[in-house]
């Protein structure tokens, strides 16, 4: 695809009909570079947007991620305002002319916009594609799906960002997610024709299966058994291959997860000691809380008994009263009562031999005494209470001591808990609110990932061994089958067809393996050649080579032989991506120049002057067409001079502001470009 | 990319002519954008033709 002309009508800043003719001379020394120069806000990205919209109907670019759909307008606001006065709608369009393999294409997409006081509406209009073949015949297409299929066959949507890109975003190609990588790999396979090979393999596999099933159905005896076994093995082989590809996918997911976890762990390295301290404190806190809970439960268990402590003084008082009576001999009094009765009724004399006769004062005193101690039951009760209180007093002292110990222990424990909580709060403050992720959890996650990796690796090894055995068994059955065919003169047409399908399937699979390995090596070789030319001195001192992975993702290897993609700067990533794109284009076109444009929107922002210089010097010869959208800060007298000296610069356009939201595209003479560009204040 | 297709065809030259013929038919039909199921049906015809042609030559 070589872009020849872009025409826009009321699209973005470009009010009315405006046009850019691209330099598009192919071949050695042909003018193939177009520079569109404009200060920020003049509509460079509007042009980029116009190309992507025309080819794919996409309203949004990758840099629009954070812009709301309803805030993204493609139709020129001034044109809408003009039509609003007349109560009419605006019919905007983008028309892109390009050629591909010496055939001409024109794609035109329209937009309809209308606005009233409150809202503005935009909707996609029709799309047409006219295709003029080399014999001069023109075909016109109106079906959007058909048009998309044709455009994708020329430049697959999945790799469009390799050829049409925003300079700031090109580096993203080196750090795409697994899903993005898959999409990109799909696009690259399309570009390299690998997808056709894969499709052919699948079709041959299907053909082989159906023919073998048919042969198995019609065969007899030993031959039938061999064919049956082959079919069984084939089924098993396919299932194992499918599982193997699932494992590969799982493996790459796990690798990405592991990398992410490692990155997070690395980020938390500086707070690792604090997190460990917090973990220790939290363990201590847990133990203290358990201890406090134990003390509380001990106290609860003694609640019934310890209630006596509340009436401790009453117990002492009652005990003392009875005890004193006991001490005084008033309780128990049974012995004295017997003695009194014997003195009064039998002996009539005291133990001291003093007579106690009726009517005497001694008898009266003894009778009074006898009446006073007459209630024996009361005495028994008093003595029982005394005994109980005595026991209670003894256990009360024990309980009192224990409860006091428990209360003291609990108070100490609560105090420790408070201290620990305070310490944890302090550590958390040091860790910072934004980084509360627990590294311990991350370590666990990492360990889980590693365990899963080991598990699937073991499964992969087992499956591979199993596949090897199946392949060997299958080959041996194939030999047996051929021998049987010879012996039994089984040269029927069906058997021959099945045999041919089998051999062809194996041949295409072998060719596929050789081809994809070769192509990846060649892309890597070419990318490294370009990279060495484009890289600045600083980069050459640290970076050694680009590695192309099996899924066409990229890795950078440093001089120590270690992967270092994660550590390289944005400018180096851009140069790496450009080298890969150029290599891809070269390999896809088999060492000539792939008929693809390189459309770069402000690519020099993050590049060192040496990088810029190298790009300006070499890129025009790497690609079939280079369209460069540049700002005044990245395209100055020096850059223009370098580009002009290369002899490939064919067109120069300037974007000029004509009032708010309106830009006019003006073509300028390259020879006079210097006069309007600024001087570099920096390196040369 | 037809040039890449040439490289694949070149590799297939190392195989017997009927294998190469069927393989090229499979690749070409895949490149044409034909659906996978239709390709297998189409290849059934191709393989039949190749075997018949070969049969005639053999005899």
User: ipTM > 0.85?
Assistant: yes
Average pLDDT, chain A: 84
Are B43 and A207 within 8 A, CB to CB?
Answer: yes
- Residue A111's CATH number: 3.40.50.300
Q: What per-residue confidence (pLDDT) applies to B59?
A: 39
User: Are A30 and A90 in the same domain?
Assistant: yes
Half-sphere exposure of A152 (CA within 13 A, CB side): 14
Q: Which of A5, A191, A669, A147 is nearest to B2 (CA)?
A: A191
User: Are A16 and A113 in the same domain?
Assistant: yes
- The reply to whether A142 falls in a domain is yes
Partner residues linked to A472 by β-bridges: none
Question: Which has the higher per-residue pLDDT, A676 or A466?
Answer: A466
Residue A215 touches chain B, beta carbons under 8 Å? no
Q: What per-residue confidence (pLDDT) applies to A575?
A: 85
Find the range with the poorest average confidence among A29-33, A37-41, A155-159.
A155-159
Task: Answer whether A57's CB lies under 8 Å from A36's CB.
Answer: no
Neighbours of A421 (CB within 10 A): 13
User: Are A424 and A466 in the same domain?
Assistant: no
% of chain A with per-residue pLDDT over 90? 23
User: Are A241 and A290 in the same domain?
Assistant: no
Query: For residue range A639-672, what is the model confidence (pLDDT) as tens digits?
Result: 888 898 889 999 999 999 888 888 999 999 888 8
- The reply to whether A361 falls in a domain is no
| pLDDT of A334 strictly over 60 | no
Chain B: residue whose CA lies nearest to A209: B40
Chain B residues whose beta carbon lies within 8 Å of the beta carbon of residue A149: 33
Sorting pLDDT into bands at 50, 70 and 90, what band is B58? Answer: very low
Chain B residues whose beta carbon lies within 8 Å of the beta carbon of residue A514: 11
Are B19 and A514 within 8 A, CB to CB?
Answer: no
- The reply to whether A617 falls in a domain is yes
* Number of CB pairs, chain A paired with chain B, less than 8 A apart: 103
Range of the domain at B31: 2-58
User: Are A289 and A257 in the same domain?
Assistant: no
Half-sphere exposure of A51 (CA within 13 A, CB side): 30
Q: What per-residue confidence (pLDDT) applies to B1?
A: 41
Are B50 and A507 within 8 A, CB to CB?
Answer: no
The 10 Å CB-count burial string (b at 16+, else e) for B19-41 is bbbbbbbbbbbbbeebeeeebbe
Q: What per-residue confidence (pLDDT) applies to A33?
A: 93
3-state secondary structure of A135: coil
User: Are A244 and A310 in the same domain?
Assistant: no
Most confidently modeled of A312-316, A427-431, A484-488? A312-316
| pLDDT of B3 strictly over 60 | no
- The reply to whether A419 falls in a domain is yes
Sorting pLDDT into bands at 50, 70 and 90, what band is A9? Answer: very high
Chain A residues whose beta carbon lies within 8 Å of the beta carbon of residue B7: 515, 590
How many structural domains comprise chain A? 3
Are A500 and B30 within 8 A, CB to CB?
Answer: no
User: Are A307 and A398 in the same domain?
Assistant: yes
Sorting pLDDT into bands at 50, 70 and 90, what band is A147? Answer: very high
Chain A: residue whose CA lies nearest to B41: A207
User: Are A424 and A443 in the same domain?
Assistant: no
Are A504 and B19 within 8 A, CB to CB?
Answer: yes
Chain A residues whose beta carbon lies within 8 Å of the beta carbon of residue B54: 496
| pLDDT of A479 strictly over 70 | yes
Query: For residue range A164-216, what is the model confidence (pLDDT) as tens digits?
Result: 777 666 666 666 666 666 766 777 777 777 888 888 999 998 998 889 888 88
Q: What per-residue confidence (pLDDT) applies to A105?
A: 96
Residue A497 touches chain B, beta carbons under 8 Å? yes
Question: Which has the higher per-residue pLDDT, B17 or A605?
Answer: B17
Q: What per-residue confidence (pLDDT) applies to B57?
A: 46
In the structure encoding, which two tokens stand for residue A477, read together? 């059955």
- The reply to whether A574 falls in a domain is no
Q: What per-residue confidence (pLDDT) applies to A68?
A: 63
Question: Which has the higher per-residue pLDDT, A588 or B49?
Answer: B49
User: Are A264 and A292 in the same domain?
Assistant: no
Sorting pLDDT into bands at 50, 70 and 90, what band is A488? Answer: low
| pLDDT of A32 strictly over 80 | yes
Sorting pLDDT into bands at 50, 70 and 90, what band is A247? Answer: very high
Q: What per-residue confidence (pLDDT) applies to A680?
A: 54
- The reply to whether A503 falls in a domain is no
| Mutation target vs A (from B9, B40, B52; most A CBs, 10 A cutoff) | B40
Residue A293 touches chain B, beta carbons under 8 Å? no
Label the pairing between strands A90-100 and A103-115. antiparallel
Neighbours of A9 (CB within 10 A): 22
| pLDDT of A217 strictly over 50 | yes
| pLDDT of A513 strictly over 80 | yes
Chain A residues whose beta carbon lies within 8 Å of the beta carbon of residue B26: 200, 203-204, 504, 508
Sorting pLDDT into bands at 50, 70 and 90, what band is A64? Answer: low
| pLDDT of A91 strictly over 90 | yes
Task: Answer whether A544's CB lies under 8 Å from A557's CB.
Answer: yes
Closest CA of chain A from B32, distance in Å? 9
Query: For residue range B11-57, what is the model confidence (pLDDT) as tens digits?
Result: 888 999 999 999 999 988 888 777 777 888 899 999 999 988 876 44
- The reply to whether A178 falls in a domain is no
Give dist(CA A252, CA A661) in Å, integer: 47
Residue A496 touches chain B, beta carbons under 8 Å? yes
User: Are A108 and A216 in the same domain?
Assistant: no
The 10 Å CB-count burial string (b at 16+, else e) for A246-258 is ebeebebebeebb
Are B16 and A200 within 8 A, CB to CB?
Answer: no
User: Are A85 and A57 in the same domain?
Assistant: yes
Neighbours of A438 (CB within 10 A): 13
| DSSP per residue, A620-681 | HHHSSEEEEEE-TTTS-HHHHHHHHHHT-EEEEEEEEE-STT-EEEEE--GGGHHHHSPPPS
How many structural domains comprise chain B? 1
In the structure encoding, which two tokens stand for residue A314, read together? 């009453």
Residue A492 touches chain B, beta carbons under 8 Å? no
Residues 227-266 of A with CB under 8 A from B: none
Q: What per-residue confidence (pLDDT) applies to A375?
A: 64
Q: What per-residue confidence (pLDDT) applies to A261?
A: 83
User: Are A477 and A625 in the same domain?
Assistant: no
A213 burial (CB, 10 Å; 0-12 / 13-18 / 19+) is: middle
| pLDDT of A570 strictly over 70 | yes
Label the pairing between strands A33-37 and A625-630. parallel
| pLDDT of A285 strictly over 70 | yes
Sorting pLDDT into bands at 50, 70 and 90, what band is A130? Answer: very high
Are B27 and A508 within 8 A, CB to CB?
Answer: yes
| pLDDT of A540 strictly over 90 | no
A217 burial (CB, 10 Å; 0-12 / 13-18 / 19+) is: exposed
Range of the domain at A314: 277-333+373-435
- The reply to whether A562 falls in a domain is no
| Mutation target vs B (from A150, A189, A213, A511; most B CBs, 10 A cutoff) | A511
């Amino acid at each position: 695809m070589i872009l020849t002309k872009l025409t826009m009508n009321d699209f973005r800043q470009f009010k009315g009909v405006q046009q850019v003719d691209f330099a598009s001379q192919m071949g050695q020394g042909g003018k193939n570079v177009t520079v569109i120069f404009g200060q920020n806000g003049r509509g460079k990205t509007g042009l980029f947007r116009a190309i992507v919209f025309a080819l794919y109907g996409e309203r949004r670019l990758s840099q629009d991620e954070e812009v709301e759909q309803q805030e993204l307008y493609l139709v020129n606001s001034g044109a809408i305002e003009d039509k609003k006065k007349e109560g009419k709608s605006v019919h905007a369009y983008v028309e892109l002319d390009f050629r591909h393999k010496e055939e001409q294409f024109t794609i035109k997409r329209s937009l309809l916009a209308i606005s009233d006081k409150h809202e503005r509406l935009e909707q996609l209009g029709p799309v047409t594609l006219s295709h003029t073949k080399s014999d001069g015949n023109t075909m016109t297409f109106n079906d959007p799906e058909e048009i998309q299929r044709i455009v994708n066959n020329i430049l697959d949507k999945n790799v469009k960002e390799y050829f049409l890109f925003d300079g700031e975003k090109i580096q993203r190609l080196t750090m795409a997610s697994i899903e993005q990588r898959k999409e990109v790999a799909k696009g690259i396979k399309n570009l390299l024709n690998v997808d056709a090979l894969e499709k052919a393999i699948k079709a041959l596999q299907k053909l082989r299966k159906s023919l073998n099933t048919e042969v198995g159905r019609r065969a007899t005896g030993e031959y039938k058994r061999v064919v049956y076994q082959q079919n069984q093995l084939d089924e098993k082989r396919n299932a194992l291959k499918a599982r193997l590809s699932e494992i590969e996918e799982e493996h790459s997911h796990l690798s990405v997860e592991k990398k992410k976890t490692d990155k997070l762990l690395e980020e938390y390295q500086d707070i690792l000691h604090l997190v460990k301290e917090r973990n220790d404190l939290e363990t201590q806190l847990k133990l203290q809380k358990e201890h406090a809970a134990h003390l509380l439960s001990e106290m609860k268990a003694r609640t019934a008994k310890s209630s006596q402590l509340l009436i401790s003084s009453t117990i002492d008082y009652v005990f003392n009263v009875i005890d004193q009576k006991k001490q005084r001999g008033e309780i128990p009094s049974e012995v004295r009562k017997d003695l009194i009765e014997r003195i009064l009724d039998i002996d009539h004399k005291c133990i001291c031999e003093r007579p106690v006769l009726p009517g005497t004062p001694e008898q009266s005193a003894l009778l009074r005494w006898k009446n006073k101690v007459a209630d024996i039951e009361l005495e028994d009760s008093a003595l029982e209470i005394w005994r109980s209180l005595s026991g209670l007093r003894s256990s009360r002292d024990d309980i009192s001591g224990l409860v006091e110990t428990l209360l003291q222990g609990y108070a100490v424990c609560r105090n420790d808990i408070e201290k620990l909580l305070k310490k944890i709060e302090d550590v958390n403050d040091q860790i910072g609110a934004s980084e509360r992720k627990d590294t311990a959890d991350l370590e666990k996650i990492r360990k889980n990932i590693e365990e899963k990796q080991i598990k699937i690796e073991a499964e992969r090894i087992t499956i591979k061994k199993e596949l090897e055995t199946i392949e060997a068994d299958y080959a041996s059955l194939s030999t047996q089958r051929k021998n049987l065919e010879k012996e039994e003169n089984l040269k029927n047409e069906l058997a021959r067809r099945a045999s041919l399908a089998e051999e062809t399937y194996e041949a295409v699979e072998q060719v596929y393996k050789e081809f994809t390995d070769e192509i990846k090596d060649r892309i890597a070789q070419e990318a490294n050649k370009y990279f060495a030319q484009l890289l600045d001195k600083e980069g050459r001192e640290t970076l050694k080579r680009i590695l192309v992975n099996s899924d066409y993702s990229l890795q950078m290897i440093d001089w120590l032989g270690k992967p270092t993609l994660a550590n390289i700067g944005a400018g180096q990533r851009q140069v790496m991506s450009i080298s890969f794109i150029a290599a891809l284009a070269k390999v896809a076109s088999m060492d000539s120049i792939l008929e693809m444009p390189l459309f770069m929107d402000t690519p020099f922002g993050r590049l060192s002057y040496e990088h810029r210089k190298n790009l300006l010097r070499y890129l025009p010869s790497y690609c079939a067409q280079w369209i460069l959208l540049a700002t005044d800060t990245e395209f100055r007298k020096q850059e223009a001079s370098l580009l002009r000296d290369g002899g490939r610069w064919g067109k120069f356009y300037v974007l000029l502001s004509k009032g708010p939201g309106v830009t006019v595209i003006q073509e300028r003479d390259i020879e006079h470009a210097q006069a309007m560009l600024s001087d570099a204040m920096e390196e040369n | 990319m037809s040039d890449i297709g040439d490289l694949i065809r070149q590799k297939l030259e190392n195989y017997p002519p009927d294998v190469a013929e069927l393989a090229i038919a499979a690749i070409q039909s895949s490149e044409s954008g034909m659906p996978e199921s239709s390709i297998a049906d189409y290849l059934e015809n191709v393989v039949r033709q190749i075997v018949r042609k070969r049969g005639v030559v053999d005899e």
